[in-house]
Structure 1
């Protein structure tokens, strides 16, 4: 569990199309074995500390002739942003993937003094 000492809780959210490999013949659509795709997301404004980030699939398009295997995660979370990472393996063919995200964390309080 995370606890935030700030009196101001910020919420940021968005959606990212991670890939559309069927259009370009990219590796997620045509490849085999371990593959990954990552994208850096910047928050609308920085948090005071790394927020809690949740990611979820909002659109997926997989080839029906193979198993749909995937691992979706938020990685390298810091106060300014994070990376969305999708991994697949074996013979899975992913045509496209869109990911929604939400971040919750502390914002600067206007009553805080900066003595540095």
Structure 2
């Protein structure tokens, strides 16, 4: 469990189009085997530490004749953003995908001071 010690908790959220491959026969639509797409996401302002990030598929447009195999994760999480990643494999054919995300963590408050002690 992550414990927040700040008096100010920030919540940021958004929705991102991961890809749309059916129009140009992109690899998620026409390929087979292991495939991956990632999209960098930047928070609206930095967190004080690494926030907790939840990501889920908001839209998944699949070919009806193939198996549905997907993994959606947030990786490389930092104070300023993360990478949204969708992975698939086998004969899964994905035309397009969109993800929704939410980040929760400590943020600087109006009462927080930045002290520069010099070099």
Alignment length (residue pairs): 116
CA-atom RMSD, angstroms? 0.8
Query: Partner of 1:27 in structure 2?
Result: 27
Instruction: Report Cα offsets for 1:37-90 as digits up to 9, x if no partner.
Output: 000000001111111000011111111101010000000000000000000001
Query: Partner of 2:2 in structure 1?
Result: 2
Query: Partner of 1:15 in structure 2?
Result: 15
Give unpaired runs (5+ residues) of structure 2: none
Query: Partner of 1:51 in structure 2?
Result: 51
Runs of 4+ in 1 over 3 A off after TM superposition: none
Deviation at 1:111, TM superposition (A): 2.1
Give unpaired runs (5+ residues) of structure 1: none
Deviation at 1:34, TM superposition (A): 0.2
